[in-house]
Chain A
Amino acid sequence: MELCDHSAAELGRKLRGKEISAKEIAGSVLKRIEEKDKQYNAFITVTDELALKQAEEVDKKISNNENLSPLAGIPVAIKDNICTEGIATTCGSKILEGYIPPYNSTAVQNLINDGALVIGKTNLDQFGMGSSTENSHFGPTKNPHNPEYVPGGSSGGSATAVSLGETILAIGTDTGGSVRMPAAFCGIVGMKPTYGRISRYGVVAYASSLDQIGGFGRNVEDTVLLLDSICSYDKNDSTSANLPKPDFHSSLKPDLKNIKIGLPKEYFVEGIDTRIKEKILAAVKLLEENGAEVHEVFLPHTKYAISTYYLIATAEASSNLARFDGVRFGYRAKEDVTDLTTMYEKTRSEGFGKEVIRRIMLGSYVLSAGYYDAYYLKAQKVRALIQHDLESAFEKVDCIIAPVTPTLPFKIGEKNEDPLQMYLEDIFTVSLNLAGLPGISLNCGYVNEFPVGFQIIGKAFDETTILNTAFAYEQLHSNNK
C-alpha cells in the first residue's frame, strides 16, 4: 500500500506526527497518475508543479509547528468545469480552448486556503452534460474496475482519480446526479450537499438552479473533511445560504438510534436491475438490524422527474452557454467567417460537442415564445410537486434510501448513441437536484467486478443525519465483509 492509497484522515495524522511530508504525499499521487492515467484518462490537466509547491509550503508550516487545517497537504483534484486561477479550465470542450480563468472559484479558494494540494483538473462530459464521461473533447475516462466500461458521469474523471489513488480527494459538480452516479460506478463516496451550501461562484454554469458542487472520497470521513472545507456562505453567490453550518467532522458519529429511514416505493419497481435492488435492500436490512426504523414513503411524481429535469436544465443551459460566442475568450472559428452571424454559428457548431448542442437546442425551444408556458412553466410546476412529495415524505422520516442508478456500469459506446437511454440513468438522482436536497452515494457491494452504490437523501440543510447514517453503514458493512 502506497501513500496515495491511504485515507485523507490517516495521511493527515501521519503528516502532523511528522512521519511523512506533504511532498511525499504529492509525489505518491503524481507517481500513480504517471502509472495509470494514460490508460484511464481521468485528468485533463495535471498541475504537478503547483501541487509540489503547495506541498513545500505545508511542509514548511509543519516544521514551524504552525496550526494546520485537516486538509493541509492532502491532494484534491478539481473537476474541469470549476474555475482555477491561472490554470486552464476547459469544461471538457473545445469551445474553451486556451481559456485560463482570471479568478478562483470560491470552493477552490477555500481548499487552497486550507492548504490542500491542487493536483489537477479532471475529465468530464462537456459542461457536465452526460452520465458517462464519454462526451469529452479529451476522450472518455475509463471505469477503474474495468477500463472497457464507463465510470459514470459527468464527474467521471474525479471519481476515477479518487478510486485509482491518483488523488486522495476530488470535487465535482452535481446537476442531476453527476457526483453521486460516478461515485456509485467507481465504488467510492460522493456527496452533494443541500443547494446553497457550497458557493457556485466559479462553477461554469450548466443549469444554475440545479448545479451544486459535491465531494468525493474513498470513505465517509474523508468526504466529510473535504465538505467542511468547501461548504461556506459566499456573498458572491446570491443563491448561497447564509445559515450556520455545523462542523461535519466533529459531529460525525455512527449513530442509528431513532433514525427513521424512508424507502420510496416508486424507486424499487420497474426498470431497476434486480441485482442492484437486492444489494440495496440488504443494506437497508443491515441498518434496520442495527437500530434504524424503516418506513415506506411515497413519491408519486417520480415518474415525471426526468422530463422535468431535462426541460429545466436545458432551458437554463441554453442561456448559460450563450457566453461561449467566440468574442472574448476560448475557441473562435476562423475559416469562411464572413460576418458576425457566421462567426457565431461556426464557432458554436465547431466548438460545442454533439450532446451540448442537442441540449442548447432543446432548451432554446423550451423557452421560445408560444412554448414557454407548455414546457418551461409546466416543468416548474411539476418541480414544485416533486419538492412537495419529498417534503411530505420527510414529515415521516429522517432520511430516504434509494438506488443511485438503475443499471450497473455499461460499456463505453454502448449508450452514447441513444440519448434517451442515457438520460434514464439519472432517473433516481435528478429529483434531489429539483428539490435542492442533500444526498450521499456510497458503496453497498459488488456485482462481478462492478460496484453497486446507494444513496441516502436528507432534509434540506440537514447533512449531519445522512452523513452519520452513511458513517454507521460504512462501519457495519466493513465489519460484515
Chain B
Amino acid sequence: MDYDVIIGFEIHAELKTATKLFCDCEVTYGAPQNTHICPLCTGQPGSLPVLNKKAVEFCVRAGLAMNCSINKYSLFARKNYFYPDLPKGYQISQYELPLCENGYIIINGDDGEAYPVGIKRIHLEEDAGKLVHSSQSISSSEYSLADYNRSGIPLIEIVTDHTTNPIRSVKEARNYLEKIRQILRYIEVSDCAIEKGQFRCDVNISLKKKGSPSYGNRAEIKNMTSFKFVSEALEYEIKRQSKLLNEGKKIAQETRLYNEEKKITLPMRSKEDAPDYRYFPDPDLIELELEKEFIDGIRKTNPVLPDELLNLITEKYKVSQEDAYLLTRNKAVANFFTECAPHSDDNKKLARWIINNLLKHLDENSLTIESINIEPKDFASLINLIVKGEVTDRVGKTVLEEIIASGKSPEVIIDAKGLKPIEDTKELNKFVDDAFSAHPEVVEQIQSGETKAINVLIGQVMRSSKGKANANKLRELILERIKKE
C-alpha cells in the first residue's frame, strides 16, 4: 500500500555568543572540565539569571531569516525535571510567547519546485551540562562525572509546523536540515558544528494512506547527531510504520531512539510515560519586551541569506542555477565568488573553476577558503588568462597551487616559471612531429575515420610540453598534418 509521509523537526543550535545565556561565563568548547562555571550555571542557591541581550538578538536574527513574526512580548518559562546535568532542576526555556513564530524556509521540494516548509516557532533556551559515565550509561556506571562548562550556553530551538507545508520525504528532510544549517551559518549565529554538539535534532514521523485526510500517530526519534542517521532512522521508520499499517495495526505515539549500529529505532518511552514538565513563567525573569527599534536594527543589519546570494549570482553574474547552488553552500565560497566576479571576464568559467579546482584543492588539503591567502583579484586574473588562452587549463592548476602557496600574483608566477603557453607554430610542430612518429598506429586510426583518437596525440603533446601547448592551435596543426599525410 502507498503512504504519504509527514516529517517534523525540533532542531537545537548552540548560539555563538561570547557569554552564556544568563551569566557572564565564557562560551567555550573543549576547555578543561568545570573551568567556565559560576554560581548561576551550577545552580547555587540564591543565584539569579540575567538575560544575555546578544542571545536575544541572535534568536531574532534567526527568526527574521526564517520569515517569522517576532513577538514584541515574550516570556521565559521553567521546564522542570530532574537530571544531574541540569543544575537548577529546571531548564529556562520559552513556552507560551516564544520570541519568533509562524515562519517558513524555502527548500528544494521533491517535485523540483521551491517548497516553503512551515516553521512553527523559534525560541531561546539554555543548554544543560555534560555527563561522562564510567560505563555505557548512567544506570550501568559505578560513577558519572558532571561538567558544567556547557550548562547555560544559549540554544535556539527551531520547530517545524505540522499544519503548514510539512516535510514529505526523507530527501526533503535532508534538504530541510541542510538549509537550516546553511541559514544559521550565513547569519553567523551558530557554527552548527555537529561534532561539537552545536547542532542536534529530534525528528518525528507519521504516515497516512494516500488520499486519506488523517495521519496516524507520530513516532519521535530523539537526540539525532548526524544527518546520515536522520535519513537512516526515517527510512527505517517508514518501513516499520507501513508494515504495521499494512497489517492493520496502530502506530504507538511514542519516543524512540536510533541504534546507529543496527540501523533500527527502538522504543524509549510511550506517550503515557511522557514527563510532565510543569512549565510556568520564570518569576526570576521579567516579561521580555522588544523595542521596535531593536527588531528593525536587526532587520537592517541581518547578513545576506543563501537564497539572496544565489539569486544575485544567477541573475547578476549569469551563473547557472546548479553552479550557483554549489557556490552558495558555503557563504565564504559564495563571497569569494562575488569578490572575484568584478575582476573576471567570464563568470561562468570563474564559477566552474572555483567549484572544480579551488574547492577540490581545499578539500584535498583539508583547507578552508578563510584559511588560505588568495586575493580575489589574482584568482580572477588567472581565470582571465586562461580564457584568453594565455595560460592553458592544465598550467592554470599549477599556477593556482602556486598562488595559494606563495600568495604571488599569477602573472608573476607565470613569468618566473616560464609557464606561458607555446603558441609558436614552429615550436609546436616539433612536438607534433614527435607524436606522429611515436604513434603511427594512432595516425592510421584517425585516417580511417576514428577522429576521436586525435586526443591521444594531443595528450602526448601536452605531456611532452608540460601542458604548455596551446590546445586549440595544436588541434589545428594535427588536423592539418593528418590531411597532408
- Contact A102-B44, Cβ < 8 Å, known A322-B89, A327-B84: yes
Collect the chain A residues with CB atoms within 8 Å of residue B449's CB.
Answer: none
In the complex, what residue of chain B is closest to A327 when comparing beta carbons? B84
- Is A236 touching B89 in the complex (CB atoms < 8 A)? no
- Contact A101-B46, Cβ < 8 Å, known A318-B278, A319-B90, A372-B280: yes
- Is B46 touching A201 in the complex (CB atoms < 8 A)? yes
Collect the chain A residues with CB atoms within 8 Å of residue B369's CB.
Answer: none
- Is A319 touching B89 in the complex (CB atoms < 8 A)? yes
- Contact A328-B139, Cβ < 8 Å, known A238-B284, A323-B89, A367-B278: no
Q: Mark A342-378, 1 if CB is under 8 A from B, else 0.
A: 0010000000000000000000100111001000100
- Contact A319-B280, Cβ < 8 Å, known A102-B44, A340-B139: yes
Q: Residue B71 at the A interface, CB < 8 A?
A: no
Q: Residue A200 at the B interface, CB < 8 A?
A: yes
- Contact A315-B45, Cβ < 8 Å, known A322-B88, A322-B90: no
Separation of A101 and B39 alpha carbons in the complex (Å): 9
How near does chain B come to A218, taking the closest CB pair, in angstroms?
28
- Is B82 touching A344 in the complex (CB atoms < 8 A)? yes
- Is A239 touching B284 in the complex (CB atoms < 8 A)? yes
- Is A238 touching B48 in the complex (CB atoms < 8 A)? yes
In the complex, what residue of chain A is closest to B22 when comparing beta carbons? A238
Q: Mark A189-207, 1 if CB is under 8 A from B, else 0.
A: 0000000000011111101
- Contact A368-B45, Cβ < 8 Å, known A209-B283, A340-B139: no
- Is A82 touching B45 in the complex (CB atoms < 8 A)? no
Interface residues of B in 273-299 (CB under 8 A from A): 276, 278-280, 283-286
**A368 touches which one: B43, B88, B276 (CB < 8 A)?**
B276
Collect the chain B residues with CB atoms within 8 Å of residue A446's CB.
Answer: none
- Is B44 touching A101 in the complex (CB atoms < 8 A)? yes
Separation of A208 and B78 alpha carbons in the complex (Å): 13
- Is A203 touching B46 in the complex (CB atoms < 8 A)? yes
Collect the chain A residues with CB atoms within 8 Å of residue B306's CB.
Answer: none
- Is B87 touching A368 in the complex (CB atoms < 8 A)? no
- Is A376 touching B280 in the complex (CB atoms < 8 A)? yes
- Is A238 touching B50 in the complex (CB atoms < 8 A)? yes
Q: Mark A167-201, 1 if CB is under 8 A from B, else 0.
A: 00000000000000000000000000000000011
Collect the chain A residues with CB atoms within 8 Å of residue B45's CB.
Answer: 83, 89, 91, 96, 99, 101, 204-205, 323-324
- Is A340 touching B138 in the complex (CB atoms < 8 A)? yes
Separation of A378 and B126 alpha carbons in the complex (Å): 29
How near does chain A come to B132, taking the closest CB pair, in angstroms?
14
Collect the chain B residues with CB atoms within 8 Å of residue A416's CB.
Answer: none
How near does chain A come to B137, taking the closest CB pair, in angstroms?
11
Q: Residue B238 at the A interface, CB < 8 A?
A: no
Separation of A197 and B42 alpha carbons in the complex (Å): 26
How near does chain B come to A275, taking the closest CB pair, in angstroms?
38
**B50 touches which one: A235, A340, A367 (CB < 8 A)?**
A235
How near does chain A come to B94, taking the closest CB pair, in angstroms?
15
- Is A319 touching B78 in the complex (CB atoms < 8 A)? yes
Collect the chain B residues with CB atoms within 8 Å of residue A235's CB.
Answer: 50
Collect the chain B residues with CB atoms within 8 Å of residue A322's CB.
Answer: 80, 82, 88-90
**A367 touches which one: B80, B87, B89 (CB < 8 A)?**
B80
Interface residues of B in 32-56 (CB under 8 A from A): 39, 42-51
Collect the chain A residues with CB atoms within 8 Å of residue B87's CB.
Answer: 323, 327-328
Q: Mark A304-339, 1 if CB is under 8 A from B, else 0.
A: 000000000001101101111101110000000001
Q: Residue A237 at the B interface, CB < 8 A?
A: yes
How near does chain B come to A329, taking the closest CB pair, in angstroms?
7
How near does chain B come to A365, taking the closest CB pair, in angstroms?
9
How near does chain A come to B313, taking the closest CB pair, in angstroms?
45
- Is B88 touching A315 in the complex (CB atoms < 8 A)? no
Interface residues of B in 333-358 (CB under 8 A from A): none
- Is A319 touching B80 in the complex (CB atoms < 8 A)? yes
Q: Residue A105 at the B interface, CB < 8 A?
A: yes
How near does chain A come to B298, taking the closest CB pair, in angstroms?
22
Collect the chain A residues with CB atoms within 8 Å of residue B279's CB.
Answer: 367
In the complex, what residue of chain A is closest to B88 when comparing beta carbons? A323
- Is B278 touching A364 in the complex (CB atoms < 8 A)? yes
- Is B89 touching A369 in the complex (CB atoms < 8 A)? no
Q: Residue B146 at the A interface, CB < 8 A?
A: yes
- Contact A239-B286, Cβ < 8 Å, known A102-B39, A325-B89, A364-B278: yes
Separation of A376 and B280 alpha carbons in the complex (Å): 9
Separation of A340 and B89 alpha carbons in the complex (Å): 14
Collect the chain A residues with CB atoms within 8 Å of residue B44's CB.
Answer: 83, 101-103, 329
Q: Mark B73-109, 1 if CB is under 8 A from A, else 0.
A: 0000010101010011110000000000000000000
- Is B82 touching A325 in the complex (CB atoms < 8 A)? yes
- Is B46 touching A83 in the complex (CB atoms < 8 A)? yes
Separation of A364 and B89 alpha carbons in the complex (Å): 13
Q: Mark B212-251, 1 if CB is under 8 A from A, else 0.
A: 0000000000000000000000000000000000000000
- Is A339 touching B139 in the complex (CB atoms < 8 A)? yes
- Contact A236-B82, Cβ < 8 Å, known A319-B89, A323-B87, A328-B43: no
Collect the chain B residues with CB atoms within 8 Å of residue A315's CB.
Answer: 280
Among B43, B45, B87, B139, the most chain A Cβ lie within 10 Å of the Cβ of B45
- Is A201 touching B47 in the complex (CB atoms < 8 A)? yes
In the complex, what residue of chain A is closest to B43 when comparing beta carbons? A323
Collect the chain A residues with CB atoms within 8 Å of residue B90's CB.
Answer: 319, 322
Separation of A344 and B81 alpha carbons in the complex (Å): 12
Separation of A239 and B48 alpha carbons in the complex (Å): 10
In the complex, what residue of chain B is closest to A343 when comparing beta carbons? B84
Collect the chain B residues with CB atoms within 8 Å of residue A101's CB.
Answer: 39, 44-46
Separation of A96 and B46 alpha carbons in the complex (Å): 13
Separation of A101 and B80 alpha carbons in the complex (Å): 24
Among A83, A315, A323, A364, the most chain B Cβ lie within 10 Å of the Cβ of A323
- Is A238 touching B49 in the complex (CB atoms < 8 A)? yes
Collect the chain B residues with CB atoms within 8 Å of residue A376's CB.
Answer: 280
- Is A200 touching B78 in the complex (CB atoms < 8 A)? no
Q: Mark A86-102, 1 if CB is under 8 A from B, else 0.
A: 00010100001001011
How near does chain A come to B350, taking the closest CB pair, in angstroms?
52
Separation of A376 and B285 alpha carbons in the complex (Å): 18
Separation of A238 and B50 alpha carbons in the complex (Å): 6
Separation of A377 and B391 alpha carbons in the complex (Å): 76
In the complex, what residue of chain A is closest to B138 when comparing beta carbons? A340
Interface residues of A in 223-249 (CB under 8 A from B): 235-239
- Is B88 touching A327 in the complex (CB atoms < 8 A)? no
Collect the chain B residues with CB atoms within 8 Å of residue A102's CB.
Answer: 39, 44
Separation of A103 and B47 alpha carbons in the complex (Å): 9
How near does chain B come to A325, taking the closest CB pair, in angstroms?
6
Separation of A207 and B284 alpha carbons in the complex (Å): 10
Collect the chain B residues with CB atoms within 8 Å of residue A325's CB.
Answer: 82, 84, 89
Collect the chain B residues with CB atoms within 8 Å of residue A318's CB.
Answer: 80, 278
Collect the chain B residues with CB atoms within 8 Å of residue A96's CB.
Answer: 45
How near does chain B come to A274, taking the closest CB pair, in angstroms?
38
Collect the chain A residues with CB atoms within 8 Å of residue B50's CB.
Answer: 235-238
**A238 touches which one: B51, B84, B139 (CB < 8 A)?**
B51
Q: Rank and list the top 4 A-B pairs by shortest CB-CB distance, nearest first.
A: A322-B89, A367-B278, A208-B283, A209-B283
19 A-B pairs with C-beta separation under 8 A: A83-B44, A96-B45, A99-B45, A102-B39, A102-B44, A103-B47, A205-B45, A205-B284, A236-B50, A238-B285, A238-B286, A316-B283, A319-B78, A322-B90, A323-B45, A329-B44, A339-B139, A369-B276, A376-B280
User: Interface residues, chain A, CB within 8 Å of chain B?
Assistant: 82-83, 89, 91, 96, 99, 101-103, 105, 200-205, 207-209, 235-239, 315-316, 318-319, 321-325, 327-329, 339-340, 344, 364, 367-369, 372, 376
Known: A101-B45, A322-B90, A368-B276; 5 extra A-B contacts, CB below 8 A, are A208-B284, A235-B50, A318-B278, A324-B45, A329-B44
